[in-house]
Structure 1
Amino acid sequence: MYNSIAVGIDGTEPWRRSIMFIRIEPSSSAPIYRQIMDQIKYQIAAGMLKAGDKVPSVRQLAGQLAVNQNTILKVYNELCREHVLQVDRGNGTIVAQGNTTTSMSERKKAVAALLREAAVQAIHLDISPEQTHTLLEKEYRAILAERAESLS
């Protein structure tokens, strides 16, 4: 069982604006806040959410996902710290205008940490480095294709 929502990115009904999909899987070993963060980042990378798009308020998203408001606050604070989202005073929280404030070395370090986690999982699941590399390339291409499709 999981919680799944489709919400207009500005918190309105989904048919009025672009849609943000969030799916929570309680049986996952990943904490709920991490699942939400990862899905928001994915939707930005895939072009489903664009710079300047307003995201639902903490209260709206928490209510729609049936999670504690502190969970969403933690997600938004972390994404703001990573320059993925930004608070636009008087307008709420929006998708940030690219990642220009973080140096390339810092971005590479962040990706390396994520890849290390993936490598640990691959080793645990007995997936070879070659198979892992192939999977990474496949996912990378799929995200780029989704981004191109959403931009057209």
Structure 2
Amino acid sequence: VAVADDEARHFRMLSGRLAELGYRYGDFDAHNGLWEMAVVTADSCLKRMALVPRVLEARGLDVTPGMIRRLRAVGDSASADILEVILSEEVAHVAAGSRWFSWCCAQAGVEPESTFAELLNRHMHGSLRGPFNIEARRDAGFSSAELAHLGTLGA
């Protein structure tokens, strides 16, 4: 519930910033990767916890620092400040996914690290590329083995 509350607040912050800039949510094309992954993982909490928070949300950990730098470089501190808040809170969201993924693995009697690697290989089809925010992912519960596996996926 806390994660959902944070996500709703993140949306309000971003929506408000878009409004300040003369736009609204939906004015720009966006991918529907989250919805597609929700469909793919509908049959399994274990798959959902591996692939939604630990892949899709974790991508935010990887790309947001660069977005913040670019926004600050063009003088958009207001947008950068919003992304700073979101980035700091997303670490906890990914960590929650890591905890639930580990719990699901224990319930299923499978080893988390190899299961995560197998699910990445099966469902991401080589689309997950670095660079990866290793420090934030470690803070979010990724093991050294999982981080090493990510390193094999390419930059």
Instruction: Select the structure with the greater relative contact order (CA < 8 A; seq sep ≥ 6).
Output: 2
Q: Which structure has more helix as a fraction of its residues?
A: 2
